Copies of this chain bind each other. A is one copy, B any other.
Amino acid sequence: MFTPRAIGLVRRPYTETTEIPKGLGAKHDVDGVLEIFPEFEVGLTDIEGFSHLFVLWVFDRAQGFELIGMPPFDDRPHGVFATRSPRRPNPIGLTVVELLRREGRLLHVRGIDMLDQTSVLDIKPYLSGIPSESLRRGWLAEAEARTRRQPSS
């Protein structure tokens, strides 16, 4: 196995986990910056041609993991691999961001849902998506349907 190392840090307005929009219908279109460390800047060559990027990052404020847990926006427990829980065997987060512009080793992006100062592990170009009509979203779609039937008063 390898030893993870940060290639950069997330810079964003939110600083507390409670401030991050969560749950069904949460909007994650927050702008922020991925600040890549100088020694990795040359690895960004040609990245500005891509509109969207995968960002792999570390849930560095999560402690341990649990294989079954209750998501914040459902009343039923689910397996960790069927959720985006931070408490995972390997605490790696994955976010798709839109690349707004590059300024040297700063990537200005839209759509970040990480905390400020989160360690970035990797960036990959987003090449294609699965069309929404081909997707099934399991318990999440069911939870959304229940929410629509029983709006919180």
Contact = CB atoms under 8 A, between A and B. Distances in A.
Interface of A: 1-7, 36, 40, 42-52, 54, 56, 58, 60, 67-68, 77-84, 88-92, 94, 96, 119, 121-132, 134-142
A57 to B, nearest CB: 10
Given A2-B58, A4-B2, A81-B47, A52 B92 contact: no
A81 B128 contact: no
A130 B94 CA distance: 14
A79 to B, nearest CB: 3
B94 A124 contact: yes
Given A79-B42, A94-B54, A138-B46, A129 B127 contact: no
